[in-house]
Amino acid sequence: MLKGSFVALITPFLENGSTNYQKLKELVEYHINNGTNGLVVLGTTAETATIDFEEQKKIVKFVIELVNKRIPVMVGAGSNSTEIACKNAYELSRLGADYILSITPYYNKCNNEGMIRHFEAIAKASACPIMLYNVPSRTNVSISIEAIAHLAKNKNICGIKEASGNMSYAMKVSQYLSDDFVMFSGNDDIILPMISIGASGVISVLANICPKTVKNICQYALDGNYLEARMLANSSLKLANALFMETSPIPIKEAMNYLGFAVGGYHLPLCNMSFENKEKLIKVINESKGVINL
């Protein structure tokens, strides 16, 4: 089940800032109908840090009931407080999540032993397997290779979302991959090289508007058809990079609204793109219509 393209789903909002559940339903069905292999809800792309926990539970329950086991659902449940991360994982996993995605403890900058204890505690609290989330550009901390070697042996830790963009680091992680501990790319621009060193797929922002394209890049690469994978990856590369010209999910929401998905705005402190960057993004979108799946 942990293979292919998992979309890092945005959270659609109404004008008053509340969750747009009708639109969320449309997005879930859009991804299922377009072959996305799995959903990631309440990740970074979902603006989870600005959604209170009661609303988070409501979103997770809604999505899990709607999906009804048609594809796996991974739920973000991290915190820089181990106690809160454990509570979140405990409650959200028991709503029926297939996997929990747990970010490194940002800001605290714990040592190696603290990192190991943090994730071991979350794995113990969760009713389903957890995936580690390494994204030092946001957290200013990375999981050491020594910690990976230790955590990969934990029976309730199923893998890592590796979003550092550092292929040397990813190569070191790859020596600990197995049927029980997988790696997903957290970056849309390096899906192919990540799969070439053992990754099983991607947790993708790009898939919000290019579900078939991202799925096919993964499938071609996993099947060993690197020529087709490379051609498709190159055709979507400019768009993948444009979606990070400002902090995600600002560009992907701008792109979705431009393309007619009508997903609404943001929760502060995120807000609309600058005029100049929006113009650049629209230009790239218009040049990339062949890879966008409407």
Question: Which residue among 161, 215, 253, 278 is the active-site one?
Answer: 161
Buried/exposed code over 159-197 (b: 16+ C-beta within 10 A; e: otherwise): bbbbbbbbbebbeebbebbeeebbbbbbbbbbbbbbbee
Closest CA to 88 of 56, 112, 62: 56
Question: Which residue among 23, 61, 87, 133 is the active-site one?
Answer: 133
The angle that helices 53-67 and 82-93 make with each other, rounded to 10 degrees, is 30
In the DSSP assignment, the letter for residue 156 is: T
Q: Is 133 a catalytic residue?
A: yes
- Strands 157-162, 99-103: pairing kind: unpaired
Q: Is 161 a catalytic residue?
A: yes
Tokens of 138: 């946001």
Residues 6+ apart with CB under 8 A from 224: none
Supply the residues annotated as catalytic: 133, 161
